[in-house]
Structure 1
C-alpha cells in the first residue's frame, strides 16, 4: 500500500470510528461505522441507526452513501466498514448492492475492527457477477 493509500485508509478509519461512536443501536448494541472516499477525495461517514420497527433501521454504509450523494459525490473510490467483535463485519447484501450503484468492481472495501483494517476485498469479490447501472443502459 502506498503512503497515499495509507493516508486515505487512516482518514477513513478515523471517520468510521467517530461515526461508530454516534451509532444509535439500543436494541442490538452492535454499533457500526462506515466511511468512504468519493471521486474528489472527500470523506463521508455514516453509522447504523436502529429503529424499534426493525426493518426500518439504516446501515452505516447506507448513511455514508447518502452523505456522499447529499454533498455532491457520485463515485465511491474506497469504503471502510468498522465493527466490533472477532468476526469480520462485511457489508450486508443490501449494502453490497448499494455500494455497487456507485462503485466499480475493483473498488476496495476495507473491513476493520477497533485496532484497524483486518482485511480488504474488492467489490467484485463481495458481489460477483452483480446487477448494476450498466445493465440498464
Structure 2
C-alpha cells in the first residue's frame, strides 16, 4: 500500500521575489510593475498557500497604488487648470501629498512583503490596505 501525498502548489520563493523586485524597480522605470503584475496573475493559481498570499498582496498593491496615483494625477490636473485663478495651487499641494504618500505606501508594502517572503512566511493579511 502506498501513501499518496497531495501537494497543493509550489512554495518556491523565486517568482514572488522577482515580482517584488520589479515593483521596486517601477520607481525608476514604471513599466516593470506591469510585468510584475502579469507574473503575479500567472503564477498565483499554481502556487502554494504561502506564496498565493504574496501574489494576492502584490496584485492588490498594484491596483490600489494605481488608483491612488490616478486620483492624485487627476487632482493635480484640476489644480493646474484652476491655478489660473489661484485656487488651484492648494489643490496641487494636496495632489502632491497624495502622490508622495502613495509612493511611500507602495515602497513600504513592497519591503514588508519582501521581509515576510525572505522568512518563508505567508503574508499574514494580504487583503489589508495598510502594510
TM-score by length of 2: 0.30
- Structure number with bigger Rg: 2
Between structures 1 and 2, the one with greater helix share: 2
| Larger RCO (CA under 8 A, 6+ residues apart) | 2
TM-score by length of 1: 0.29
